[in-house]
A = this chain, B = another copy of it.
Amino acid sequence: MESNLPHWLQKQAELNPHEKAIETDDGSSLSFLELHERSKQYAAYFEENGIQRGDHVAVLSSNRLEMVLAIHALSYLGAVVVLLNTRLTPEELAFQIKDAEVSCLITEENFYSKGEAAIRNAGLAACPIVQYHLIQTNRSSPDAIRKEITLDEVFTIIYTSGTTGSPKGVQLTYGNHWASAISSALNLGLSQSDKWLICLPMFHVGGFSALIKNVVYGMPVFLMERFDEHMVNHAIKNSGVTIVSVVSIMLQRLIENLRDERLPAHFRCMLLGGGPAPKPLLENAKDKAIPVFQTYGMTETASQIVTLSPKDALRKLGSAGRALSTAWLVIDAPRGEIGEIKVKGPMVTKGYYKRDESTTEALSDGWLATGDLGYQDEEGFLYVVDRRKDLIISGGENIYPAEIESVLSGMKGIMEAGVTGIEDQRWGQVPAAFVVTQKESVLNETDVLRYCRDHLAGYKCPKEIHFVEKLPRNASNKLLRRELPAFRKDVGN
């Protein structure tokens, strides 16, 4: 098969020049032709500033239109985009900038000083920093513009936070991103009236992947600088948004914000990723008739690789579904038993940047060992149980934090919960729970423990209950269980 394709943005600018490509929450919008023209201007400026094909260029940005332009501009130059998480400290950023051998940093005014500190910290004083508001757009096109996309070429490097060890740069090719977009369309369908809302950060693969769908499908996206439940619900109701990608905590806030209202009939998909969803949340969504498509995926799979299709959503509540039509899924254990989840398909990374050992460990014959634990039911539906590294082994029994969190989240008065293992002289490890209660709640430790004993086997009941203001989450709102023990000190442990 021919391994090149026409450049996706240039193609949309030809096929759908005057169709809306991007809307932003300040009410402005760009057509595909405008998006193409402005990205070319950015590319011309970047080229003048020395960015060449194959260069690694870091982008430190919130979900702004300029970020979209910068990404397409880098693609037109054939540069590799290193996506940086804006919530990281300069030290953390410095590690990634150095590790990814970045030769230029593109950022917005708000993050200039953070970016500058990171560059200094990385010992790369000569590395130029480009700020959006200083970009000159007097040239309409770079001299060397890429008119093709080479599927085997690396397009992005995104660092995985990981639960232990130092972050690793996941390389995703154009082909990975393309296959991800195509596979999603085969799963969700594709309608002329679709509009996808991006409220997940685009420096994570969840937000970034919607940007690729934008240009692969020729579908408009509604770009939101940050998640806000009121604004998202408003956009669904008033701007024709048909699909939104969210993580659990966002969905919960959307549902709360809806109160007694329903979403309009044109809304067809709430794509839920970012880790196992608590059952009570799924049931709430079901009560509100919100079409939730649970997904399972990670940076290494360029977003979703397993999805629960609409017709099974109610029948298989709690499952992440089955592998997309282009992908494979196996559990490293007999059918029905819990084991490590392994996946394969054209959206799976070819490896970590400069981490041959980690790559060899994670990838074997195209199969990615995800580090997640799960099982498949008799029909092949996947149930993600937990991160392998978060597994609590207590007196020889396996305890899955997510299971306990799901139970706690279902208790009246509890907003959210995190569970991790703590050392215990007798059992080796025991679970400790960290809960955020609703404002008006008067729950105490005894109440929570009693509830646990009613709903969980004895060995799974947390040995400690800590009431905390909020849970540690990363920039994509994923719970950071490894940081939970630090919260024990807050309550005097």
Mask of A122-164 contacts with B, CB within 8 angstroms, 1/0: 0000000000000000000000000000011000000000000
Q: What CA separation (Å) do A12 and B186 show in the bound complex? A: 11
Closest to A181 in B: B186
Chain B residues near A2: list those with CB within 8 A.
179, 344-346, 348, 366
Selected from B179, B192, B218, B325, the residue in CB contact (under 8 A) with A218 is B325
Contact B366 A14 (CB under 8 A): no
A88 at the interface (CB under 8 A from B): no
Selected from B1, B8, B348, the residue in CB contact (under 8 A) with A3 is B1
Contact B189 A192 (CB under 8 A): yes
Selected from B6, B152, B182, the residue in CB contact (under 8 A) with A328 is B6
Contact A326 B5 (CB under 8 A): yes
Closest to A268 in B: B192
CB distance from A310 to the nearest CB of B (A): 8
Mask of A180-207 contacts with B, CB within 8 angstroms, 1/0: 0010011001111000000000000000
Q: What CA separation (Å) do A72 and B12 show in the bound complex? A: 35
A216 at the interface (CB under 8 A from B): yes
Closest to A194 in B: B189
Q: Which residues of A from 319 to 346 have beta carbons under 8 Å from B?
A: 322-323, 325-328, 344-346
Q: What CA separation (Å) do A346 and B178 show in the bound complex? A: 13
Closest to A325 in B: B11
A61 at the interface (CB under 8 A from B): no
A175 at the interface (CB under 8 A from B): yes
Selected from B1, B178, B192, the residue in CB contact (under 8 A) with A173 is B1
Chain B residues near A209: list those with CB within 8 A.
none
A63 at the interface (CB under 8 A from B): no
A217 at the interface (CB under 8 A from B): yes
CB distance from A320 to the nearest CB of B (A): 14
Closest to A321 in B: B15
Selected from B176, B178, B186, B380, the residue in CB contact (under 8 A) with A185 is B186
Q: What secondary structure prevails in chain A residues at the interface with B?
A: mixed
Closest to A189 in B: B190
Contact B309 A15 (CB under 8 A): yes
Q: What CA separation (Å) do A4 and B380 show in the bound complex? A: 21
CB distance from A135 to the nearest CB of B (A): 29
Chain B residues near A8: list those with CB within 8 A.
325
Closest to A8 in B: B325
CB distance from A72 to the nearest CB of B (A): 16
Contact B6 A326 (CB under 8 A): yes
Q: Check A325/B15 contact, CB under 8 A, given A189-B191, A189-B192, A192-B189.
A: yes
Closest to A322 in B: B15
Contact B217 A186 (CB under 8 A): yes
Selected from B1, B15, B326, the residue in CB contact (under 8 A) with A346 is B1
Contact B6 A176 (CB under 8 A): no
Closest to A218 in B: B325
Q: Which residues of A from 208 to 236 have beta carbons under 8 Å from B?
A: 216-218
Chain B residues near A348: list those with CB within 8 A.
2
Selected from B1, B185, B309, B325, the residue in CB contact (under 8 A) with A152 is B1
Q: Which of A190, A323, A348 has the most CB of B within 10 A?
A: A190
Mask of A4-20 contacts with B, CB within 8 angstroms, 1/0: 11101001101100000
**What is the interface of chain A, defined by CB distance below 8 A to chain B?**
1-6, 8, 11-12, 14-15, 151-152, 173, 175-176, 178-179, 182, 185-186, 189-192, 216-218, 309, 322-323, 325-328, 344-346, 348, 366, 380
Instruction: Given contacts A6-B328, A189-B192, list 9 more A-B pairs with CB under 8 A.
Output: A1-B3, A1-B152, A1-B178, A2-B179, A2-B345, A6-B326, A14-B380, A186-B190, A216-B325
5 pairs across A/B with beta carbons < 8 Å?
A6-B325, A12-B325, A185-B185, A189-B190, A191-B191
